[in-house]
Amino acid sequence: MEWNARPVTELASGLFSVVVDARTEFASQWAVFIRPAAQRVLVLNKLNERLPVYTKGHPVSGLVAQNVWVVTDAQVAAGALSLAQQNNVLSFTDGPAVGGLKMFMAPGPLVISDWTLTLADGSAPVNRLWLLIRYVMK
């Protein structure tokens, strides 16, 4: 029997996904984000470095999010969230609630590099927040 493993570059046309736990993977930025303020900003610099090992060596410009979900315990409206990468800004819509967590979805495309997640409702307590990212490697 022949084992036929294809290089990742041949799989690059597929759709990949990753889950980012903002509280643990961006701990310093999270500490700033959870402080009450009129508007909260979570800086996700070098987010591309949090992707799986098979993305290493791939040009950052070719790592493109097709969909981004935010799952959080914060009881906020979808319009209170936005995600930016340079001048590109994504707006969120409501998704289904799951076990006390709210889910929001934004369609891409958005290059996965330095992102900024903004929560306009700074009064809502936030204890957990995850980003679910579906992306392609171009």
Summarised one tens digit per residue, pLDDT across range 36-54 is 888 999 999 999 999 999 9
Q: In angstroms, what CA-CA distances link 115 with 48, 73, 86, 118?
A: 10, 21, 8, 10
CATH, domain range 16-137: 2.60.120
pTM for this model (two decimals) = 0.87
Backbone dihedral region for residue 83 (phi beyond 0: left; psi -120 to 50: alpha; all else: beta): beta
pLDDT in tens, 71-87: 999 999 999 999 999 99
Residue 70: half-sphere exposure toward Cβ, Cα within 13 Å: 29
Q: What is the mean pLDDT of residues 84-92?
A: 96
Residue boundaries of the structural domains of the chain:
16-137
Give me the DSSP letters along 50-83.
GS-GGGTTS-GGGEEEEEEEEEES----GGGEEE
Q: What is the mean pLDDT of residues 102-112?
A: 97
